Structure formats: structure tokens, C-alpha cells
Chain A
């Protein structure tokens, strides 16, 4: 129970940061909506952890619900890192193109 409360408090802390960014307009409405849903789902999972445990067992997995959530989070994180690498590559290419144009103009 205490662990669940700490986890929810942490999520609320993260969410407050996002709310502040949204109020400062440093993130768009779409980004705010995405992160609200993301952290909202996080809170639901934490509150509903016992029913999720039962569901995971019924689905035939040997691990507990929280472990499954953890494994999936790691997989999602890896995917996001990969996507970010590709985006950085694209940015690097744009920077190279601009720098080359400046060089050849001089």
C-alpha cells in the first residue's frame, strides 16, 4: 500500500512538471494530452495492480502484473531510444546540409 502511494505521488510530481510546461506553452496541447494519458494510465495500473495480477495469471503468464508492466516499459523505452537515435540522425543531416551551404556560399 505504501509503495503504491509513493508511486502515485511520484507520478503526480512528474505530472505537475508537465502541467507547468504546458502552462508556459513550452509543450503543445497534443504533447500535454499524450503525457496526461500516459501518466493517467500509470496511476490506473498502480491502483489496479491486484486485478492486473489476477488478469496476468489468467492469461497464463508466470510473472506478477507489476513485473509484466516493468518488462513492457523496458521494451517501450528501448523503442523510444531507437526512435530518438533516428531523429538525431535526421537532425545531424539537416545541420550538415546547412553548414555545407554556408561553406560553399563563402
Chain B
């Protein structure tokens, strides 16, 4: 079973090397997508010598959602059976990869989402935990029928069949909700597993949340 890990990177020169090196042991192949970074991300990526790493380079900045879709397409073309989406900024722990892919290997799920709220392993900032996330959960449930413990999980794994069905159309940060929404829409077998997230200055700000709602609304109107 070929396991591919997709890591989009935009201006991640500080964390990218460590993230890739930590992840190599847990997957068969890593696809790192440099999303037209203006810092040394690409140089850092090219410095890593591993047969298990493929670096793709966007000619312009497209956004995290677009980078994940590029990675999915590459992985599918190269025979991936399972695709893992992972952040480059070091907030996720690569040790959590085996438990996120386990339900896929056992055939218990088509897509597995890492959840920060199932076991409270992560030290989530209070504003995010008590204000942003509850609003996002209500928004997801009302507009997209999504019912998960974590409304904005970026750590997920899916089967090949699932990646073929879920085409990510939101180029920027709204892809998280889009993937969740499509998983429910296509009636896929969904599972959540607890993950730990390290918080420093990672993740969405409140303004980022507003942008997500704006992008999703426009896509919904457009159909």
C-alpha cells in the first residue's frame, strides 16, 4: 500500500526541513509543493536529499487549497493508495500519521480527519477554542450539514477513491470546509481521530475566518 503525504509550503523556510525529515519515516513518499514562496523555502527543499521526496513548484502563488489539489493529482498519477494532508509549519506531529491512516488501511473509513477536540491533547488558544471554533461549527452545520468535532482540521488522510471524488476547488483556506462538506455530500465513510497540535503563532486568525466565509459564500452562489 503506497502512502503519499502532501505538504504545501508557502514561506516556510524555518520549519520545512524539519517537518519533511520528521515525516519521511511515516510515509512512502512526500510531495512538497512550494507555492511560489518569496523566502528560501525552495532552496531548503532542494537541499533535502531523499528518494522519497518530490518537490513541485507553483509558478505563481495559488494558495494552500490549490497546492493540496496539485499534490493530490501528482499522488494519484503516481499510484498513491492513501494520501495524507499535512502542514509545513510544524504544528502537526508526524507521529500521529499512523493512527490517522489506520482506519483507511482497515477499511473502516474513506476519509479520516484529525481532531483537536476529541481528546484535549492540544493547548488551543482560548479565543480560538471558545469563540472562533464554535462559530465555525455552527456555520458548517447550518450551511453544509457538516457535523464533526473539529470544524477546520487541516490534518487528514483519504483513500485513492476518495481523492478522485473530492476535487478541491477553493484555492485558499476555505478548502478545509470544502473537503468536509464534500465528504458529507458524497456520503463517504468519515472518521475522526484525536491529534495533538502545537500552537505558537500558527493557524487562522479571525480575519482569515471571515475570508473563508466570504470564499465559501461566493462559491455557493456560483454553484
- Give how many B residues have a beta carbon under 8 Å from the other chain's beta carbons: 19
Contacts A85-B218, A89-B222, A96-B62 given; does A104 touch B171 at CB 8 Å: no
Q: Please tell me if B15 contacts chain A, counting CB pairs below 8 Å.
A: no
Residues on A with beta carbons closer than 8 Å to the beta carbon of B218: 85-86, 89
- Beta-carbon contact of A96 and B171 below 8 Å: yes
Query: Chain A residue with minimal CB distance to B55?
Result: A106
- Beta-carbon contact of B222 and A86 below 8 Å: yes
In the complex the two chains form, what is the Cα distance from A106 to B60 in whole Å? 14
Contacts A89-B222, A96-B66 given; does A103 touch B59 at CB 8 Å: yes
CB contact between B70 and one of A85, A86, A93, A100 (< 8 Å): that residue: A100
* Minimal beta-carbon separation of A1 from chain B (angstroms): 45
In the complex the two chains form, what is the Cα distance from A85 to B171 in whole Å? 15
Contacts A89-B222, A93-B169, A104-B74 given; does A99 touch B57 at CB 8 Å: no
A82-99, CB < 8 A from B? 85-86, 89, 92-93, 95-96, 99
Q: Please tell me if A102 contacts chain B, counting CB pairs below 8 Å.
A: yes
In the complex the two chains form, what is the Cα distance from A103 to B169 in whole Å? 17
In the complex the two chains form, what is the Cα distance from A99 to B221 in whole Å? 25
In the complex the two chains form, what is the Cα distance from A86 to B58 in whole Å? 24
* Minimal beta-carbon separation of B207 from chain A (angstroms): 19
In the complex the two chains form, what is the Cα distance from A71 to B219 in whole Å? 28
In the complex the two chains form, what is the Cα distance from A86 to B222 in whole Å? 7
Q: Please tell me if B69 contacts chain A, counting CB pairs below 8 Å.
A: yes
Query: Number of residue pairs across A and B with beta carbons under 8 Å?
Result: 39
Query: Chain B residue with minimal CB distance to A90?
Result: B222
Residues on A with beta carbons closer than 8 Å to the beta carbon of B59: 99, 102-103
CB contact between A106 and one of B57, B62, B219, B222 (< 8 Å): that residue: B57
- Beta-carbon contact of A99 and B56 below 8 Å: no
Residues on B with beta carbons closer than 8 Å to the beta carbon of A85: 218
* Minimal beta-carbon separation of B173 from chain A (angstroms): 14
CB contact between B57 and one of A86, A93, A103 (< 8 Å): that residue: A103
Contacts A85-B218, A106-B57 given; does A100 touch B69 at CB 8 Å: yes
**Binary CB contact string for chain B from 6 to 31 against chain A (1 if under 8 A, 0 otherwise):** 00000000000000000000000000
**Binary CB contact string for chain B from 205 to 220 against chain A (1 if under 8 A, 0 otherwise):** 0000000000000110
Query: Chain B residue with minimal CB distance to A98?
Result: B59
- Beta-carbon contact of A100 and B73 below 8 Å: yes
In the complex the two chains form, what is the Cα distance from A93 to B169 in whole Å? 8
- Beta-carbon contact of B222 and A99 below 8 Å: no
- Beta-carbon contact of B66 and A100 below 8 Å: yes
Contacts A95-B60, A96-B66, A99-B60 given; does A104 touch B73 at CB 8 Å: yes
Query: Chain A residue with minimal CB distance to B34?
Result: A103
Residues on B with beta carbons closer than 8 Å to the beta carbon of A106: 56-57
Residues on A with beta carbons closer than 8 Å to the beta carbon of B66: 96, 99-100
In the complex the two chains form, what is the Cα distance from A100 to B76 in whole Å? 14
- Beta-carbon contact of B56 and A103 below 8 Å: yes
Tell which of A86, A92, A96, A106 has the most Cβ of chain B within 10 Å: A96
Q: Which 9 pairs show the lowest CB-CB distances between chains A and B? A: A100-B70, A96-B66, A103-B56, A102-B59, A99-B59, A99-B60, A96-B62, A103-B58, A103-B70
